[in-house]
Structure 1
């Protein structure tokens, strides 16, 4: 059984494509399907060149995709939704309030998944949801669009740290 992970940011050209590409590289594609979308995506726009450069610098394949608008059906189909910021999490919940227990910021979920015990994916997501109040407070990834290369590098490094943690935990789970 494949678990759907949806990653979300504003335009789906910087943070969420980087999260998507890094997760897809580290997770078993037979067990996890990773997709991304933006709450205000300029459809048809490719990944930001600076974000693509950050992926190449880390030997992560740059996705050949364009920005996609976040829609309710994407949220309802996902087993786990990871967002760039708390505001994006709120946008997700505006589309589907029932997604609360499976929607986290990327940084928040990375911290929570190391603090809880679970043997399977559903158990991990449920346990993380129950411990949400014990998660970190600084969970927002700043938007690097239009910012200098150094800002893109800082955001990509923070994403990489969180993604590696999540991938390590997910890789240990059963089925």
Structure 2
């Protein structure tokens, strides 16, 4: 039974914190742990202001988020690890080959497409990333 998820992107300040907040909200009331980390995390940084703005528009928040770097212990503790891009999945599988069976692309059940990084871009790119994350989460929630 899946009881925890780790969501991974690059900096852990845009996509993965948005996905973490969304999944946590969608599974509220269930015994399910959700976390996020970055392959090249901007350690200690808060969520990007535009990512927080998009979350707020959907009644969510990740204001307390603090970016952290991926570590083997985080991968070990998670039942599933969800990535934003295929290259993230490959990097994690190289880092932790024994965990490759639980590392998946977030949009696996959709079109298998990457979710582009909105970092440094305009609000509409953050909204697009959120929409892609939201639709992909529907598929994962039905499986956990």
Structure 1 residue ranges, 4+ long, deviating more than 6 angstroms after superposition: none
Matched, 1:72 2:72: yes
List aligned pairs for 1:15-34, cutoff 5 A.
15-34=15-34
Q: CA-to-partner distance for each residue in 1:106-135, whole Å, 9 max, x for gaps?
A: 111x44xxxxxxxxxxxxxxxxxxxxxxxx
TM-score by length of 1: 0.77
Q: Secondary structure of the residue that 2:142 maps to in structure 1? A: helix
Quote the RMSD (CA, aligned, Å).
1.6
Mapped contact 2:20–2:34 kept (Cα < 8 A): yes
Mapped contact 1:15–1:143 kept (Cα < 8 A): yes
Choose from 121, 133, 149 the match for 2:123.
149
TM-score by length of 2: 0.92
Separation (CA, whole Å) in 2 of partners of 1:64 and 1:82: 21
Offset of residue 63 of structure 1: 4.2
Matched, 1:87 2:87: yes
Separation (CA, whole Å) in 2 of partners of 1:91 and 1:29: 33
Partner in structure 2 of residue 9 of structure 1: 9
Q: Secondary structure of the residue that 1:107 maps to in structure 2? A: coil
Instruction: Count residues with an aligned counterpart.
Output: 144
In structure 2, runs of 5+ residues without a counterpart are none
Q: Secondary structure of the residue that 2:81 maps to in structure 1? A: strand
Mapped contact 2:9–2:16 kept (Cα < 8 A): yes
Structure with greater helix share of residues: 1
Separation (CA, whole Å) in 2 of partners of 1:102 and 1:40: 21
In structure 1, runs of 5+ residues without a counterpart are 112-135, 171-175
- Structure whose alpha-carbon radius of gyration is higher: 1
